[in-house]
């Protein structure tokens, strides 16, 4: 079970996804005994007025959506011929107005069953399709320094922490320089009578041996048909020599927040553990990967539940339990499952080819918030804004541009930007799809031919940083002058206290060059007045020429030292 969260002082850190597998025999793996619920004694008067409880064989009336405890505690409704105790003195008027209820139609079979029995019936029917998975990873060479010491002398405590966290079982020592084998546990479920089993990739990744134990405690060696690290899914195969019971896929797209679910798995090595809860949220993005779309549940799932199924009340698999959020490593009622709508196409590909191919268009996107929607003229925040385009990609060929907003993809409206990567990934390569794009304040449609996503494709080089545009300049007194700016301060190492106009160049053979002026000097005054813009320098020179003055007094600063020079009062 991948875990999100920290341990100890790490609790306040940002969310961290980790693999979480169960270790059998761990001292902390025993479930705490449940506290008994003792009801307070009733007074005799209360006992006389309490309505009679229904016989054990008679289910309580009402809809089947009552929680189990409510179904157990619901009092039986009084019959029409026997008024409840303490209510014998009915008003005559009320008795006259009482209407006889029409006979109820025959209830459906599920309505005859108390809600508490629904889970028991489902568990009995479904536990045979759930399997326990144990893996062994071969030891690896332990890293050491040249003098034979551990490469990280402070890692022993961390190693113990992670061995406990991941549910790994290994001895503290090493033999012949090899780390001891690591054993871990997980869950899975059968999807075909021939022995095909779905689980999480992280349950079987890097495993040297994989054993699958069925509900009848028979154990088989399993082979990996295919794995997909991106979605964290894997498909296994066992040879059981007989048809096996298989689970049925359900439609996670129909799951609603509040729907009841069952989780069956192998937490802490306790195979066949059944827990129940509800769908707490849908379409959760937990930053586990580019295609996050998790179902969130409060059904208790722990280390070892990874790869196990989440069932709806029809007994269909609508999710694959994958991750938990926990500051301690145990369940706190926040678990995440890969929805069947996302998992099933991937499992079908693994079953057919042993690998997964995904579509690719080469457009990097970002969410569209209210501010961006307002800025581009959209009616509301929706779609996915194109941030960058990979050179030579299908998006580049289709003339998509940064700043475009993709509103729909192949007929699917894009309400949230993270919908788009999943839709593109599920599109077979070489398929041409139609995009609705918001461009320059209006919607337009373009066709894009989807390419093949290469997982080993190197990341595109970062765009070349834009070279700063040279500041506007003006020629005056034989010099090229510019306003002070942050870039010019950096270029000429000018202090923040510098004032005046920057000399960016000096004309060859000019009077300014003859007086030793150079780029980086500051013209801080012309005549008797300070100057801050090139335009002021030119105006002062023109004014001096009109008065017939041939030379103009210019005050110049270099390295904090000022001096005066006389320059011809001729603009140019």
Position 12 scores a pLDDT of 34
Architecture, CATH, for domain 359-452 = Roll (2.30)
Distance CA 447, CA 400 (A): 10
Pairing type for strands 260-265 and 309-311 reads: antiparallel
pLDDT for 21: 39
Q: Which two tokens stand for residue 564?
A: 């005066």
Residues tagged active-site: 202, 232, 306
What's the order of all strands across the beta sheet hosting 209-213? 219-221, 209-213, 130-137, 182-192, 196-199, 233-237, 223-228
State the pLDDT at residue 424. Answer: 94
473-568 maps to CATH 2.30.42.10: yes
Residue ranges, comma separated, of all CATH 2.30.42.10 domains in the chain are 359-452, 473-568
pLDDT value of residue 3: 55
Contacts of 41 (CB under 8 A, 6+ apart): none
Q: Which residues of the chain have pLDDT under 50?
A: 6-92, 94-104, 106-107, 140-175, 571-572
Tell me what pLDDT residue 470 has.
Answer: 67
Residue 80, pLDDT score: 41
CB atoms inside a 10 Å sphere around CB 141: 10
pLDDT reported for residue 469: 65
Q: What was the pLDDT predicted at 180?
A: 56
pLDDT tens-digit readout, 496-544:
888 999 999 999 888 889 889 999 999 999 887 899 999 998 888 888 8
2-23+129-141+154-353 placed in CATH 2.40.160.40: no
Residues 6+ apart with CB under 8 A from 392: 362
Query: Tell me, what's the pLDDT at 293?
Result: 85
CATH 2.40.10.120 residue window(s) in the chain: 2-23+129-141+154-353
**pLDDT at position 17:** 38
């Amino acid at each position: 079970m991948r875990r999100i969260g920290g341990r100890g002082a790490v609790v306040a850190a940002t969310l961290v996804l980790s693999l979480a597998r169960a270790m059998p025999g761990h001292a902390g793996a025993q479930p705490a005994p449940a506290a008994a619920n003792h009801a307070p004694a009733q007074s005799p008067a209360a006992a006389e007025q309490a309505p009679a409880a229904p016989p054990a064989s008679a289910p309580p009336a009402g809809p089947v959506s009552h929680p189990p405890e409510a179904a157990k505690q619901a009092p039986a409704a009084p019959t029409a011929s026997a008024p409840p105790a303490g209510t014998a003195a009915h008003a005559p008027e009320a008795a006259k107005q009482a209407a006889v209820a029409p006979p109820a139609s025959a209830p459906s079979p599920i309505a005859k069953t108390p809600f508490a029995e629904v889970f028991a019936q489902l568990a009995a029917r479904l536990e045979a399709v759930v399997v326990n998975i144990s893996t062994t990873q071969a030891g690896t060479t332990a890293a050491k320094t040249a003098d034979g010491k551990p490469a990280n002398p402070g890692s022993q405590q961390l190693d113990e922490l992670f061995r406990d966290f991941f549910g790994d079982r290994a001895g503290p020592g090493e033999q012949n320089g090899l780390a001891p084998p690591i054993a871990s546990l997980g869950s899975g479920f059968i999807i075909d009578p021939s022995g095909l089993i779905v689980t999480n990739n992280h349950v079987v990744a890097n495993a040297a041996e994989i054993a699958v134990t069925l509900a009848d405690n028979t154990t088989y060696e399993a082979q990996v048909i295919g794995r997909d690290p991106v979605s964290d899914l894997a498909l296994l195969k066992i040879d059981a020599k007989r048809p096996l019971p298989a689970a049925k896929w359900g439609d996670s797209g129909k799951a609603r927040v509040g729907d009841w679910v069952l989780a069956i798995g192998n937490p802490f090595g306790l195979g066949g553990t059944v827990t129940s809860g509800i769908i707490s949220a849908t379409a959760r993005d937990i930053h586990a990967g580019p295609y996050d779309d998790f179902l969130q549940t409060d059904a208790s799932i722990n280390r070892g539940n990874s790869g196990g199924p989440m069932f709806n009340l029809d007994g269909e698999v609508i999710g694959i339990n994958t991750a938990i959020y926990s500051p301690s490593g145990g369940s706190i009622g926040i678990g995440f499952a890969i929805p069947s709508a996302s998992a099933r196409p991937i499992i079908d590909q693994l079953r057919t080819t042993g690998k997964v191919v995904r579509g690719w268009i080469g457009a990097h996107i970002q969410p569209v918030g209210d501010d961006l929607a307002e800025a581009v003229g959209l009616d509301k925040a929706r779609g996915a804004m194109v941030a960058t385009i990979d050179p030579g990609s299908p998006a580049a060929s289709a003339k998509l541009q940064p700043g475009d907003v993709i509103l729909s993809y192949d007929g699917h409206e894009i309400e949230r930007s993270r919908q788009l990567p999943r839709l593109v990934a599920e599109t077979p390569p070489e398929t041409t799809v139609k995009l609705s794009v918001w461009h320059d304040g209006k919607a337009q449609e373009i066709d894009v031919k989807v390419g093949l996503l290469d997982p080993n494709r190197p990341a595109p080089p970062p765009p070349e940083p834009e070279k700063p545009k040279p500041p506007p300049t003006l020629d005056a007194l034989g010099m090229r002058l510019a306003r002070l700016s942050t870039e010019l301060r950096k270029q000429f190492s000018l202090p923040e206290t510098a004032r005046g106009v920057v000399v960016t160049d000096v004309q060859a053979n000019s009077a300014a060059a003859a007086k030793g002026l150079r780029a980086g000097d500051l013209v801080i005054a012309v005549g008797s007045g300070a100057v801050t813009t090139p335009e002021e320098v030119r105006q002062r020179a023109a004014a001096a020429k009109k008065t017939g003055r041939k030379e103009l007094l210019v005050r110049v600063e270099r390295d904090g030292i000022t001096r005066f020079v006389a320059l011809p009062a001729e603009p140019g």
